[in-house]
Amino acid sequence: HGALIQKEVDRRNDIIRKDAKRRGVEARLLDANLVAAVIAKESGGRRMAESEPSPEAKAKWGTAKGLMQMIDSTASRMGVTDVWDKRQNIRGGVKYLTGLIDRYDGDYEKALAAYNCGPGCVDRVVSGRQRRLPKETRAYVPIVTGIMPVPTTEDEDPRDIEFAPINPETDIIVE
């Protein structure tokens, strides 16, 4: 998926650059490695991945689907008509993640937390109306930032590195 991720991120960054120039503001560009790390954590790179949420979460939001594990309502807001189509899923996920990065003024940790538990949850924590983020989200952010690949040679493109599957026994950080 490396080339597809890079293409969608480049396309999105071009739009962001043009809009920022038009408005006279600094452009917050998205890194393809961050998107690849989100995909690795969310779906393990499996296009047909579908989450197994708790019965309460499933009743409220449904299941998350595809490479970037989008729920139907978010996918629809991002213009995705087929969550199983990898291009649409990545495009929608990139658009959503970019919006969260903008919402939190470039704070990638808050944006990633919001990608996982929703912006309402993050907003409640920031405002003090909620004590802390859910346990899953507190583990999610360091895992995603920790899987961002680092090239081992100058010729190696980090987007082409295969990600190891997430092992909850060893990869989840618990307080």
Residue among 161, 163, 154, 173 nearest 40 (CA): 163
Residue of 89, 59, 84, 86 whose CA lies nearest to 74: 89
Contact 51, 64 (CB under 8 A): yes
Q: Per-residue confidence at 159, pLDDT binned at 50, 70, 90?
A: very low
Band (pLDDT 50/70/90 cuts) for residue 157 is very low
Q: What is the pLDDT of residues 56-89, one digit of tens each?
A: 666 666 788 998 999 889 999 999 999 999 888 9
| Chain position carrying tokens 């309402």 | 120
Residues catalogued as catalytic: 42
pLDDT confidence bin for 174, thresholds 50/70/90: very low
